[in-house]
Structure 1
């Protein structure tokens, strides 16, 4: 699956959406002018009739011209347009917090990584697997504990502030492979760029609907005062316009959403290599009495976010999702037409069947992560089991996380301790200085836990560090704002304790900062600026030069690696910089600028970086970490190194 292409399509869909929105707003402004003019004319004539003045004699071209003058048109248009803009900005400000704002507005409760509930733990485990498989941070999971319908959603502005939401019905009724298929479907929405598009859709449509809300408030406010007949009529007119806006807004929402659902279903099959998972999930929904119904009060504005149709009994024209039968047949062409029905005893057997031995969980976890990583990188998942040494190495690295560290990674204090343990220096005096800094951070018991985990960190393979860091993120997001400030400050002090920053420390800090900033700080949205590689040639030259020198011993090999990477990116007029010109501060600034490239350009840039590193046919664990961190900063799926990459 080419997720970069899909992200570019989603961005173009955003442009079409804005165009449709502008057309809708212009139409509503014109209609508002007409209805307000007619309302004032009607009220004026009613007053004339009461005074005994003839309607015909009091109506002439001058009167009509007064009602529909350019001045009144401009004032009404300004009022409507300003109201719509204010409503959009208000809603956008609400959504700026990311997916958690959506989840909490629906009554969602965050599931903590160290939860003891087996159903909750199963959901958390599946989300964790899919995140590592797609080269993304592990997002927080929210449970809609009052929703009995079977449904799920992904929401957020970027992968860094994304959340996964599941209903109580989904947790109680899905088997593990069905849940895995649904979660994979939601992750594909994140990778395809649908998630950001969906949030923008909420904000834009709120602007249209706000006209109707304003009219309803006006009509209700004047209903208790007999002298306010004009205001009541105006309110009713605006309510009618708001209803029309909602109608056309839902048409826009349905048109944008439906085709993306088919794509997400197909992506879920690729991720899991198990079409039965998502097809059985859809069949179970068809045989379940409550279906995918969501009962939250403002479900209409977020209905397009969900896995299934959140509002039942809509006409096909208004439906945000394709018909259930069509979705099932897409992934299971041989379906016999029978839905699945799961009674309480069946659900009990389902829970028993989901129990696995420790070794089975380990094997399934590694296989899922490897399969998903291949799909994200555009590699045939069958190659995962063809004996590639690099894939075997990556499989061993994922499998190499000690059980105690895996356990501590799901606890907030344990996750902080692991981060600090990564940074402890080998020199005893410097390490003692760092432990004093940890003690000053204000977390009770943190020094002892850091010292306890440090011996477990040391033997961990370098390649296991990145998966372990990604596992920490949900627990770290459970910190309070004050704890985050202290954690971030201490993290920087530990890195600077030896007065130098190595590449691993840069990778660790960038990963943690990038994925936590959306949770605790206002996040600046990436603005795409660069469509051509030539626009970032200087920055790319510096990044590629540093990597070429780092991974190759001789100047000749470094130049060969650089030229291969530059050629892959389509930049043939740049040359290798000397080592003295490759400073780390410039490297960091260059990577940040590359993140402003358009989605269609990013795969070329990342392919060039990957080919530069793989020129000698060997990829160290640290090189993989650097490439992964660059991809994370660029908001792009992490590239997978496959056997074909060794070919020149």
Structure 2
């Protein structure tokens, strides 16, 4: 299976289908103009094409009203979904799984999500459970990776093995990393906008057919009433036709993204049987439930394009199918036809199973088929029980952040003085526990703490960011670790974290200085033996658009915190397809083997610009095990 060929094909098809959606809106505008024109002409002249000179601004007004209706409908729906992934998950009847859950099935789900997040270098998403859904299904939703959620049905927990669940979560993470989530939410809004045309037509019919008082008034207003009824009927028909074709396009977009997500999930996990067997179980379950991924919630149809499998039996085939046939998806994964599998509910796991070291936090790339087959890149880092417990609660997760920032000697004393006595004691206690972990294991702890940190309200988030700034300023210097932690927290917890960022730069030529700043930072961290010039040249050679071939690395003294932040802001507004070019250039400048400090910096840069962490960076971090 050629994963990258599948991904590129799906991307090309998706771009075509999005253009079709825009054309559908234009077609609706034209149809509404035609309907109103015919109704007006007939009432004024008694003939369908009797008018040659239309009232001034006639068609412009019709067009404006139509676009306004679509826009208002879309805006209302988008406002309803302004909380992003959380709003969508609740809309589907989801219940958030607390990070501190001790339920064994929920704990296993959280572990799988956490290891995928660490491996991909994104914030651990919130996890929701659809308790009333017994079929096998899941979805990811949100506007960006920093506020994404992953929702899973109860049936997926009880019917899938851990490897199969990992394949399903890998599929959903591919939606997060491939930028599908924002597109999916926009499709919900656009369909709501198209629905407004039909709703407005229904209101015109009701208003026009209303029995007005007085015979004389009814006679005078007769023509207007006919126009309203005819126009309303026409808009009702056009609106529903538009909704139908909008759903057809939505379904086609969804089908292409599912092929892309399947290919990416197998690529991520290096295990075709994970997702493959989950789909085979959906096929097996379809013998008793049609389909085996059916969602019973009333919002299932509206959210159908988000799910792993077809959410409704009525949409399981034809133009309105939001998902390709399971058989076709299996053929693309395995290269041949596969038989369905039994999807009976499995016994609940024993308590000891989830505390043994065979349930790791993977930070070396996405896991393979089984523990024995996973790459062994050195001894795993054992996560102390106290640290693991602290990561699960909001306040103690803040203490973990404080602990990660503590230095040694007099600097630590100055830092602890900025905290309250209770928080200072807890931070110092956790810092001593974390000290036994490898240096490269520190930053993944921040990823693990994110679900608990997101439970903080706006005031407590601001307080945490302020305390972080105080700890960093205590010794009047900014270390690499401090810069990385502050950058990641600001991107994920600041008030603007969930807001979509507009694209302002379509290629690297418009952010030349930002490229030079980031390349210089990596070069100074990775250089040894006076090879900074060669490393900078190696990175600049990967960025011909930026025109840095004749430049040198900036001196360390010119890489102040404000300038670096400004560079990250510019790169954040770079077109998505241009970001990988910069990341590859930064990797080239860092060289091989990748120094731990450079790996931390690249991880922070990827978090700041909402880009997935490259495999070379993920592979530099150790595996985490629980202490059994």
TM-score (norm: length of structure 1): 0.83
Q: Of residues 365, 378, 381 in structure 2, which corresponds to 1:399?
A: 381
**Number of the residue aligned with 2:190:** 204
**Number of the residue aligned with 1:470:** 447
SS at match of 2:366: helix
* Aligned residues of 2:137 and 2:309 also touching (Cα < 8 A): yes
- 1:20 paired to 2:3: no
**Number of the residue aligned with 2:626:** none
Q: Of residues 620, 623, 629 in structure 1, which corresponds to 2:604?
A: 629
- 1:281 paired to 2:278: yes
**Number of the residue aligned with 2:134:** 148
Write the mapping of 1:5-84 to structure 2, written as runs, cut at 5 A: 16-17=16-17, 19-39=19-39, 59=46, 64-65=51-52, 71-84=57-70
**Number of the residue aligned with 1:418:** 400
Q: Cα distance 1:451–1:293, how it changes in 2: closer, same or farther (>3 A)?
A: same
Q: Distance in 2 between matches of 1:489 and 1:621?
A: 28
Which of 633-642 and 229-238 deviates more?
229-238
Unaligned runs of 5+ in 2: 219-224, 621-628
Write the mapping of 1:219-618 to structure 2, written as runs, cut at 5 A: 219=205, 225=211, 230=226, 231=228, 234-288=231-285, 289-290=288-289, 291-314=292-315, 315-333=317-335, 335=337, 337-342=339-344, 346-348=345-347, 351=349, 355-356=353-354, 358-362=356-360, 365-366=361-362, 369-372=363-366, 385=375, 392=377, 396=379, 399-427=381-409, 431-439=412-420, 446-517=423-494, 520-521=495-496, 523-554=498-529, 556-570=530-544, 571-614=548-591, 617-618=592-593
Structure 1 or 2: more helix by fraction = 1
SS at match of 1:293: coil
Q: Distance in 1 between matches of 2:185 and 2:357?
A: 40
Aligned-pair distance for 1:259? 2.1
Q: Distance in 1 between matches of 2:127 and 2:451?
A: 8
Q: Cα distance 1:238–1:446, how it changes in 2: closer, same or farther (>3 A)?
A: farther
Write the mapping of 1:76-225 to structure 2, written as runs, cut at 5 A: 76-219=62-205, 225=211
Q: Cα distance 1:544–1:588, how it changes in 2: closer, same or farther (>3 A)?
A: same
| Alignment length (residue pairs) | 600
Q: Distance in 1 between matches of 2:80 and 2:257?
A: 25
Q: Distance in 1 between matches of 2:17 and 2:514?
A: 33
Superposed CA offset, 1:444-500 (max 9, x none): x54443232121123332100111111111111111222212222222122212222
Aligned-pair distance for 1:3? 10
Aligned-pair distance for 1:113? 0.6
Q: Distance in 2 between matches of 1:384 and 1:566?
A: 35
Superposed CA offset, 1:557-593 (max 9, x none): 1112211221233342322333333333322322322
* Aligned residues of 1:10 and 1:197 also touching (Cα < 8 A): no
SS at match of 1:300: coil
Backbone CA RMSD of aligned residues: 3.5
Q: Cα distance 1:240–1:93, how it changes in 2: closer, same or farther (>3 A)?
A: same
* Aligned residues of 1:140 and 1:163 also touching (Cα < 8 A): yes
Superposed CA offset, 1:531-569 (max 9, x none): 443333322222222332333345x41112211221233
Q: Distance in 2 between matches of 1:489 and 1:592?
A: 20
* Aligned residues of 2:603 and 2:617 also touching (Cα < 8 A): no
Q: Distance in 2 between matches of 1:299 and 1:213?
A: 21
Q: Cα distance 1:582–1:187, how it changes in 2: closer, same or farther (>3 A)?
A: same
TM-score (norm: length of structure 2): 0.86
Q: Distance in 1 between matches of 2:154 and 2:279?
A: 16
Q: Distance in 2 between matches of 1:191 and 1:5?
A: 17
Which of 453-462 and 320-329 deviates more?
453-462
Q: Cα distance 1:384–1:310, how it changes in 2: closer, same or farther (>3 A)?
A: closer
Which of 211-220 and 24-33 deviates more?
211-220
Q: Distance in 2 between matches of 1:90 and 1:522?
A: 22
Name which structure has the greater RCO, CA cutoff 8 Å, separation 6+: 2
SS at match of 2:57: helix
Which of 497-506 and 539-548 deviates more?
539-548
Aligned-pair distance for 1:233? 5.2
Superposed CA offset, 1:17-37 (max 9, x none): 553233222221222233334
Superposed CA offset, 1:306-349 (max 9, x none): 1011122234111111012211232244555344241xxx522x
Aligned-pair distance for 1:250? 1.0
